[in-house]
A and B are shown apart, each in its own frame.
Chain A
Amino acid sequence: MSARLAAQGGGAARLAVDIGGTFTDVAVEQGERRWTGKVLTTPQAPELGVLEGVKLVLEKAGLAPADIALVIHGTTLATNAVIERKGAKTALLTTEGFRDVLALGNESRYDQYDLNIELPQPLVPRRWRLPVTERLDNTGKVLLPLDEAAVARHVAFMRAEGIEAVAIGFLHAFVNPAHEKQAAAILQRLWPEVPVSLSSEVSPEMREWERFSTTAANAYVQPLMASYLKRLEVGLREGGLACPVFMMLSGGGLTTLETARRFPIRLVESGPAGGAIFSAHVAKQRGLTEVLSFDMGGTTAKVCLIDQYQPQASRTFEVARVGRFKKGSGLPLRIPVIEMVEIGAGGGSLAAVDSMGRITVGPESAGADPGPACYGRGGAKPAVTDANLALGRYDPEHFAGGALRLYPERSRDALVAEVGGRLGLSAEMAALGVVEMVDENMANAARVHAIESGKGFEGRTIIAFGGGGPVHGYRVAEKIGVKRLLVPSGAGVGSAIGFLRAPVAYEVVRSLYQRFASFDVGAVNALLTEMSREAAAVVAKGAFGARTVEGRLAYMRYVGQGHEIAVKLPARDLTAADVQAIRAAYDAEYIKFYDRPVPGSDVEILSFAVTVATEVPAVEPAAEVEAAPAPAPIRQQQVRDTTTGEVTEWAVYDRAAMAPGAVVAGPCIVAEAETSTLVGRGWSCRMDGLGYLDLTQESA
């Protein structure tokens, strides 16, 4: 087994399954070959869709279940349970006096002007938020001992209420978990069968709302995920797949089923994480050290900066936003995630005109049903897809490989009714406005993401995938000043392919307050060693002896400042000599973000992160290919340019007919079954040796 895993391929086949809201995607790889498939997700029993998809792809590949050496799985099941409120009846044992931390949040509204605002409701209602007398101070010193009798009384109440999962969240437990452990021991003794989540284990970081929210969410999805994972394991085994199953984590690593059962909340963003890893791998194949991953689907677009083939790590995430895509309208989760921005901009996003006569796009979406007006399924509102069609970017006879017939006149009617008529614009110019606006929104999201990451776009390449990425990519690139765009193959199942590239990994985060003026090397080393051991133990269960690498970070800021910056630490015991170097590294990072350092300020560390991961095998950069002749266009389309408003003939090429090394000049369209790549005016597009489309903008 270890040899197979370490080789990442070889003779053994590996299979990845990504359960999304609509489709379950499956990808199988054996050596250099890959097969993919899509089946509909089966929400009632998701394992059924998985098993069906696996069967389908194995047949395609001509492989037997026994040929599969490893299954890697990601699912939105935990996310959906939180969104649809279908998790366990969960109770929270918490510090007396702080029963309402989950309800009060940060006492603010995410929308300043909406009097009818809805706030996200806590997963645990007040009646099940049960106070226990106990209190620690900020150093972990006991101010009030734990009232053990109260815990026992609550057990009786919880059983009577039919509680199915328990979260324990006490103030300052991330500094000293003793009281949480003591309470858990009582539960274990009196009620051994109930699953218990401790805030000091699920999310051991400062900030009680975020920590309790994460812990409650973990408890809330735990029974459901445990039962699903059991059924999946059994189903796969009965289907002849006796190999290990690994789960994709939100942070971009893989973990064992056992860890997934303990901390199921860490699985919530696995699909998008797979997409980011897919991009990182494509970047590595092409030796691109600075890229922007751009995944535009039916309802949302996700952008993510990837430097040195590493997606950025973050520890804050919101799930189940009630104000669509509005920051602050979801439940906060503090878990390792890949940093990305998701906005309501996709092919199905609906266009309208606001009271100021401005075109707006999204976040409302036409969804799959009725879909955009041009689907002819009763949708009367114009979606982005309608606008693309009205601009002449799609051929109604050849959409989705001819699988779906489009009705251009319905797009035009909808565009006139909802947008053009109100602004005195023709259907075509309304369409132009809609597409420019959605491109602008995505470009703005990318800009904000870059600002928040302290990065720029100069010299960056966009990697575009999803149904809409290749269509909108070049214009978004122009708007943010990016001059190169890569459209990989397999873009329709990017997340599943990404799973196949992920290392077995685990991240542990702990808070330990340190000031540089009084840095306690011994205490920091003791903590980092313990964290390293913990992460290594989790990874060892799935690494099968593969070599591992360790990364250590400190989250630092000027004393009193708000946001922390992650600074790399050496993966070994620190010495007194390291302290100045770390401080200098902080200053350098700070200047990267904000230009000017702040004189005279001490620096503090709030928390540390240790990640242990199996080594990802080196990727051979793709070989350069000889120039090849351009294929003949398969047809010409009348396309309106969104920059000039002019209509001209754009040649359409068949992607499958382009030989490696072939170059076509924009404006043109490179069509394939799943999507079309638009090559704007001033751009050229070359097919590379990997079958990827490599678009570059000639300098003006």
Chain B
Amino acid sequence: MKETGALATIQRQIQWNRLIAVVEEQAQTMIRTAFSTTVREAGDLSAGIFDLQGRMLAQAVTGTPGHVNSMAESVGHFLAKFPAAGMQPGDHYITNDPWLGTGHLHDLTVVTPAFRRGKIVGLFANTAHIIDIGGLGMGPEGRSVFEEGLYIPIVKCFDRNVPNETFFDFIRAGSRTPVELEGDIYSLCACNDAGAKRLVEMLDEFDMDSIDPLAEYIFESSLRATIEEIRKLPRGTFRAQIRSDGYEAPVTLNAAMTIEEERIVVDYAGTSGLSTRGINVPPAYCRAYSCFGIKCVVAPEIPNNWASLSPFQMEIPEGCILNAPWPYPVSVRHVVGQLLPDLMMGCLHQAVPGRVNAEGASALWNPPLRGGSQVSGQAAEVEDFEIITFNSGGTGARPEKDGLDGIAFPSGVRTMPVEATENVAPVIFWKKELRPDSAGAGKTRGGFGQVMEIGTKGEAEFAVNAIFDRVANPPKGRDGGGEGAAGWVGLNDANGTPLRTKGFQIVPKGRRLLLKLPGGGGMGDPKARDPELVRRDVVDGLITRAAAKEIYGVEV
């Protein structure tokens, strides 16, 4: 290689590195300026840069695998309606269309063009989960997307830096939390602006007229690296199945994963049909979580972009729950979608057993809580409130390590401090701690779930819009490891009255909501576990002496 060519190669690497820094800055700006707790505390957002064909060059690594492919695909939909040629500096475009964005109305996606010397050079997109978008609120009860909230088609929210006041009027009128919603939209735009500014600075520094040659370099390197990783896997078709509790009936997820020379194709034939309620998964969201599950095992180091995601392909039959058509309800598509990485690992376990985990609690256990007059009418004893916290059970055991206790996976969101939650709503968390004896046994055990007990101030009536899974179908172990404990949802009364795992239900005055979050599945023969670790768990009060003896064969 000629030395000048060598310098160009090195500079391309520097530019790629810079682009990743740019999107990370873009995401950080969003986290710092966001109003919704879901973004600022939980980190439920994503950010990326795109070329003028709508191909993603780089994406910030944030807490939401669900946005991986879905955001990557959404920019193409924006361009179809508003071609790049017609965009102006200071324009911002927005949607929450579940089929053009990231799968439910609570996710807003904003796209912003970046201009240099009067010429459009790229696009920034950014998605955030906002706290309320009207309608029924976050929950599975809707029977169509129209009931689930305010539907924003792709429109301009800022036209050459001037806010579209008609749009903002509708937005404010349509949400229970208008101030936060409007503030979040401003934040989404500000963070795209921050990204655009950085991009232009980079183009100036390297004297680049276009990002296209850089894009080609990124795509070529990423695709080559991804294919190299795929080639290390054994070829073949591997099948797995998972059952979810579903809403009206249990849901079966079926996958046949074929590892080919240069791609991995997953066929979801045999998966259950659509639900009448909002647990249906739009196809982009199915691709996102499938892809995340495969990538964690196969190519975790390779950054997400159009090319590195392209070898992972999903065939999702029409009419199945993973390919929900408009206008089916999709509000809580995560409760099914987040099981997909477990399903992918079920397939990959047959190909590369030493590289995958046992099944975990997987779907977040977010209790959406509502109280005050919207639940109790004039009899309300507390101020109106609407909150959601992000909580997790245990993750699956790993080949060489135990699962993680009460940690989100595959979602990467963070939970809020109890003290902060109690400051924004009249609720009292009476308990939030690890759930003993919930981890699936094994040579390496699963992670422990949690127990949460939640009431209101003065023990007033309130409601939960339940979206919980892994109650009838606990996480499975692998290689002889045991199941994680199933979840449980109910009241704290003496009878232990259970509640339904999905849907809007009242917690009566004087009662509290009791949640027992699932534990992760175990891996390998429990009898082969290091007895010291068993003793440690007994001393720590996480497993009983009886369980230590019976399951692990260890006397403590």
Closest to A141 in B: B457
| Cβ < 8 Å to B, chain A residues 433-468 | 433, 436-437, 440-441, 444, 447-448, 451-452
Q: Are A97 and B433 in contact (CB under 8 A)?
A: yes
Query: Which of B25, B221, B405, B430 has a CB less than 8 Å from the CB of A356?
Result: B221
CA distance A97 to B409 in the complex (A): 24
Q: Which of B220-255 contact A (CB under 8 A)?
A: 221-222, 224-225, 228-229
The answer to whether the Cβ of A112 comes within 8 Å of any Cβ in the partner chain is yes
A-B contacts besides A100-B450, A138-B422, A433-B10, 10 pairs, CB < 8 Å: A97-B430, A98-B431, A104-B407, A113-B300, A137-B422, A207-B417, A354-B301, A358-B13, A561-B40, A595-B190
- Least Cβ–Cβ distance between A100 and chain B, in angstroms: 4
The 5 closest A-B pairs by CB, nearest first: A562-B40, A97-B431, A126-B540, A113-B300, A106-B414
B404 / chain A contacts, CB cutoff of 8 Å: 109, 117, 119
Interface residues of A in 579-608 (CB under 8 A from B): 593-596, 598-601
> What residues of B have a CB within 8 angstroms of the CB of A145 in the complex?
none
Binds A, one of B29-37, B70-78, B138-146, B311-319: B29-37
Known: A113-B296, A207-B420. A444 touches B21 (CB 8 A): yes
B388 smallest CB distance to A (angstroms): 14
User: Which of B117-125, B180-188, B322-330, B482-490 is near enough to bind chain A?
Assistant: B180-188
B28–A358 CB distance below 8 A: no
**A452 and B28 contact, CB distance less than 8 A:** yes
Q: Would A356 and B434 be within 8 Å (CB), given that A108-B413, A109-B408, A207-B419 are in contact?
A: no
How many angstroms from the CA of A622 to the CA of B288 in the assembled complex? 60
- A481: chain B residues at CB < 8 Å are 201
* Nearest A-chain residue to B435, judged by Cβ: A100
Interface hub of B10, B404, B431, B450 (most chain A Cβ within 10 A): B10
Residues of chain B within 8 A (CB-CB) of A424 are 1, 6
Q: How far is the CB of B275 from chain A (nearest CB, A)?
A: 28
> Distance in Å from the Cβ of A213 to the closest Cβ of chain B?
12
Size band of the B side of the interface?
35 or more
For the A-B complex, the count of residue pairs with Cβ-Cβ distances under 8 Å equals: 235
B406-A107 in contact (CB<8A) = yes
B433 touches A100 (CB 8 A): yes
Contact B418 A108 (CB under 8 A): no
A113 to B294 alpha-carbon distance, docked (Å): 10
> For the complex, would chain A's binding face be called helix, strand, loop or mixed by DSSP majority?
loop
Binary A-proximity of B142-169 (CB < 8 A = 1, otherwise 0) = 0000000000000000000000000000
Q: Are B398 and A451 neighbours in the complex by a CB distance under 8 Å?
A: no
Are B415 and A108 within 8 A (Cβ)? yes
B63 pairs with A113, CB closer than 8 A: no
Sample 13 A-B pairs with CB under 8 A, ordered by A number: A98-B432, A100-B405, A104-B415, A104-B450, A107-B408, A358-B221, A441-B17, A447-B21, A447-B198, A448-B21, A448-B28, A560-B177, A561-B34
Residues of B with C-beta under 8 A to A601: 179, 183
Taking CB atoms and an 8 Å cut-off, the chain B residues in 187-223 that contact chain A are: 190, 193-194, 198, 201, 205, 221-222
Asked whether, in the complex, the Cβ of A108 is within 8 Å of the Cβ of B300, the reply is: no
Q: Would B390 and A209 count as touching, CB distance under 8 A? A: no
Q: Given B35, B299, B428, which contacts A560 in the complex, CB threshold below 8 Å?
A: B35
- Given A97-B431, A107-B414, A116-B400, A513–B423 Cβ distance below 8 Å? yes
Rounded to whole angstroms, the CA-CA distance of A594 and B34 in the bound complex is: 11
B65 proximity list for chain A (CB < 8 A): 112
From 12 to 57 in chain B, residues with beta carbon under 8 angstroms from any chain A beta carbon are: 13-14, 16-18, 21, 24-25, 28-29, 31-37, 39-41, 43
Please determine whether B6 and A440 come into contact, CB atoms closer than 8 angstroms: no
A598:B183 contact, CB within 8 angstroms: yes
Report yes or no: B221 in contact with A560, Cβ–Cβ below 8 A. Answer: no
| Bound Cα distance A418, B408 (Å) | 37
B179 x A559 contact (CB < 8 A):
yes
Identity of the chain A residue whose Cβ is nearest the Cβ of B205 in the assembled complex: A479
Cβ of B91 to closest chain A Cβ, rounded Å: 15
Q: Is the CB of B6 within 8 A of A425?
A: yes
**Residue B280 interfacial (CB < 8 Å):** no
Q: Mark A209-225, 1 if CB is under 8 A from B, else 0.
A: 11000000000000000
Q: How far is the CB of B244 from chain A (nearest CB, A)?
A: 22
Of A109, A171, A209, the most chain B CB neighbours within 10 A belong to: A109
Per the bound structure, the CA–CA distance linking A444 and B301 in Å amounts to: 20
How would residues 253 to 272 of chain A score, 1 for a CB under 8 Å from any chain B CB and 0 otherwise?
00000000000000000000
Q: How far is the CA of A359 from the CA of B434 in the complex (A)?
A: 43
Residues of A in contact with B (beta carbons under 8 Å apart): 97-100, 103-104, 106-109, 112-119, 125-127, 135, 137-138, 143, 171-172, 206-210, 354-359, 423-426, 429, 432-433, 436-437, 440-441, 444, 447-448, 451-452, 479, 481, 513, 558-563, 593-596, 598-601, 644-645
Is the beta-carbon distance between B221 and A444 smaller than 8 angstroms? no
Verify B457–A137 contact, CB threshold 8 A: yes
CB distance from B383 to the nearest CB of A (A): 13
B residues in contact with A125, CB < 8 Å: 540
Q: In the complex the two chains form, is A107's CB within 8 Å of B415's CB? A: yes
Contact B419 A355 (CB under 8 A): no
Tell me the minimal C-beta distance from B423 to chain A in angstroms. 5
Question: How many Å lie between the Cα of A594 and that of B21 in the bound state?
Answer: 18
B338 at the interface (CB under 8 A from A): no
Q: Please tell me if B374 contacts chain A, counting CB pairs below 8 Å.
A: no
State whether A436 touches B14 (Cβ < 8 A): yes
Q: Is the CB of A645 within 8 A of B3?
A: yes
Q: Does B412 touch A at the CB level, under 8 Å?
A: yes
Min C-beta distance of B444 to chain A, whole Å: 11
- The 8 Å CB contact of B433, one of A99, A112, A115, A594, is A99
Q: Is the CB of B28 within 8 A of A561?
A: no
- In the bound complex, what is the Cα–Cα distance between A118 and B402 (angstroms)? 10
- Cβ of B198: which chain A residues have Cβ within 8 Å of it? 447
Q: With A108-B43, A426-B3 given, is the CB distance from A208 to B412 under 8 Å? A: no
Asked whether A172 lies within 8 Å of B433 as measured between CB atoms, the reply is no
* Known interface pairs A97-B431, A103-B434, A429-B10; A451-B35 also in contact (CB < 8 Å): no
